[in-house]
Structure 1
Amino acid sequence: NSTVESSSRNLAKNTTKSTTKNNTTNNSSMTTRDKTAAEKQMDKKMDEFRKEVAMLAKFVSPYLIRFYGACFIPNRICMVTELAKYGSLQDMMKHKKSGEIVMKMRIKLMLDTAKGIQYLHANNTLHRDIKSDNTLVTSLDFNDEVNGKLTDFGASRNVNSLCDNMMYTKGIGTPKFMAPEITNVEKYTLSADVYSFAITVLECLTWKDPFDEKLFPYSWDITNLISKGERPAIELGDKEQKALIEEMWKQDPRERPDMDRVVDKLNKIYQTNN
């Protein structure tokens, strides 16, 4: 009796769309050159979609959002996945106050997300876009085995393909969650996901954005800070929680723990939290 939702992506050939922070424009009239560019853009989106579908179909874990199938209709491609009752963690943080979600549940959501990342890493796959928006909340009942699930595998890649093709692409992921080696356009490995998860954990446990928009109005303000080895303040009283975050966001990727260690530590933190 699973409930499903359909997310559609518009791939219309006859419309190009450009977006800025405060302005969105649509241009339906195009030159021949524009059409070629639009067609290339559509092909790129189709390729990304196929990769995401292949990733979803290949991996099965209770900690990854369940994939049911994909279909193609004129100018649209649709993906049918399991419905997350409460939306994303990011959505929940916007609509629920800190006191409404107890600390133990926040830790559980992070533990479940960590297990999803652990599963990917065990299969030599980087997610490359770990963030609160990509943790879906399926339940807030402690009696349920799983409460949070990892989603959005459009940027995920096999580690071997990254090494073979030197695909160390700048701009993969979301700036405030990006590991310093990615923003510096250096080689990166599974530990880049661990860094991103550290920021996600901090955001979830404190129930607020680690990078205040008033202090960091532009994304490059954050990446410049991180590249220099600086980090946001950890406003948490629990020493174990703080220590884990600090370990996960080490500047040197080799000093970060793997996800097996992260899951183990989070599980202990969860078990001892009252």
Structure 2
Amino acid sequence: MVWCIVTEYAKGGSVRQFLMKRQSRSVPLKLAVKQALDVARGMAYVHALGLIHRDLKSDNLLIFSDKSIKIADFGVARIEVQTEGMTPETGTYRWMAPEMIQHRPYTQKVDVYSFGIVLWELITGMLPFQNMTAVQAAFAVVNKGVRPIVPNDCLPVLGEIMTRCWDANPDVRPPFTEVVRMLENAETEIMTTVRKARFRCCMTQPMTAD
């Protein structure tokens, strides 16, 4: 018997393809947070089923016509087990959690680490560790604690999500249910800022005589 997942056609291709077309230009913040929420909510559902994706990355996130994102490629996903029997080094180095690279026991928190890298991609529009080979990136992550640099102008709550998600200690990484709440707060903050900016703009417009 062959198992497969059938989904509708993703007109926008993968997130990585989308970012490459933008030539390292960042995604508009409102859209980036909306898409990050799509991924976080999807992964919260996956984890609630007791599964680990194990290869969460921008290549495996598909963009649909309404710009929403759905998670794809569950080829290496599996049920989480509390043993050392799960395959090490499953996934892709640039997005891979350090405990997986080091062949240590791991949990669903490896997906949370990968999400932190994906969120950074959406915010910056860049390939993680783009000046390194994949192997160099893995070495730097494990042996030097290197992570992508959070932009100075990044919304503080988004910077906090990234750094917590890719913490070297899996126990520090938040579950996806918490990531969803944090992103919802970020979305609210962005909308509030936009409304205030529009209001200030209207107030500064010169009044015209009737």
1:221 matched residue in structure 2: 136
Q: After TM superposition, give the deviation of residue 236 of structure 1 in Å.
A: 4.6
- Name the amino acid aligned to 1:152: D
Alignment match, 1:19: none
Structure 1: which 4+ aligned runs deviate by more than 6 Å? Answer: none
Q: Distance in 2 between matches of 1:206 and 1:261?
A: 22
Would the aligned equivalents of 1:201 and 1:245 in 2 still touch at CA under 8 Å?
A: yes
Alignment match, 1:8: none
Aligned counterpart, 1:230? 146
Give yes or no for the alignment of 1:211 onto 2:129.
yes
Instruction: Tell me if the contact between 1:168 and 1:186 (Cα under 8 Å) persists in the aligned partners.
Output: no
Question: In 2, Cα distance between the equivalents of 1:158 and 1:202?
Answer: 27
- Partner residue of 2:101? 183
CA distance in 1, matches of 2:63, 2:147: 27
Tell me which residue corresponds to 1:123: 49
1:129-184 superposed Cα distances (whole Å, 9 cap, x missing partner): 0001111111346xxxxx11111100100013xx35x3332331011000000000
> Identity, % of aligned pairs?
31
Structure 2 residue aligned with 1:192, among 110, 117, 120? 110
Kindly provide the CA deviation profile for residues 88-115 of structure 1, in whole angstroms up to 9, marking residues without a partner as x.
1111111135668421111111110111
Contact 2:54 2:77 in 1 (8 A): yes
**CA distance in 2 between partners of 1:205 and 1:132 (Å):** 12
8 A Cα contact 1:114 1:259, kept in partner: yes
The change in CA–CA distance for 1:128 and 1:170 in structure 2 (over 3 A counts) is same
Q: Contact 1:85–1:137 (CA<8 Å) still a contact in 2?
A: yes
In structure 2, distance between residues paired with 1:89 and 1:178: 17
- C-alpha distance after superposition, 1:203-262 (max 9, x if no partner): 1111111212xx31x222111111132212112521111111001111010111001000
C-alpha distance in structure 2 between counterparts of 1:181 and 1:101, whole Å: 30
Match of 1:155 in 2: 76
CA gap of 1:210–1:167, structure 2 versus 1, over 3 A, is: same
1:263 maps to what in 2? 180
1:194 and 1:267 mapped to 2: Cα distance? 17
Structure with higher RCO (Cα < 8 A, 6+ apart)? 2
Other-structure match for 1:240: 157
Who is 1:102 aligned against?
A: 28
SS in 1 for 2:168: coil
Q: Distance in 2 between matches of 1:131 and 1:251?
A: 18
Q: Tell me how far apart the structure 2 counterparts of residues 167 and 92 of structure 1 sit (CA, whole Å).
A: 36
The 8 Å contact of residues 236 and 242 in structure 1, kept in 2 or not, is answered as: no
In the alignment, structure 1 segments of 5+ residues that lack a partner are: 1-46, 57-66, 68-80, 142-146
- The one-letter code of the counterpart of 2:46 is L
CA distance in 2, matches of 1:150, 1:138: 11
Distance 2:135 2:128 in 1: 15
User: Pick from 128, 132, 135: which aligns with 2:58?
Assistant: 132
Distance, in Å, in 2 between the alignment partners of 1:104 and 1:258 is: 23
Q: Which has the higher helix share?
A: 2
8 Å CA contact 1:171, 1:183 repeated in 2: yes
Greater fraction strand: 1
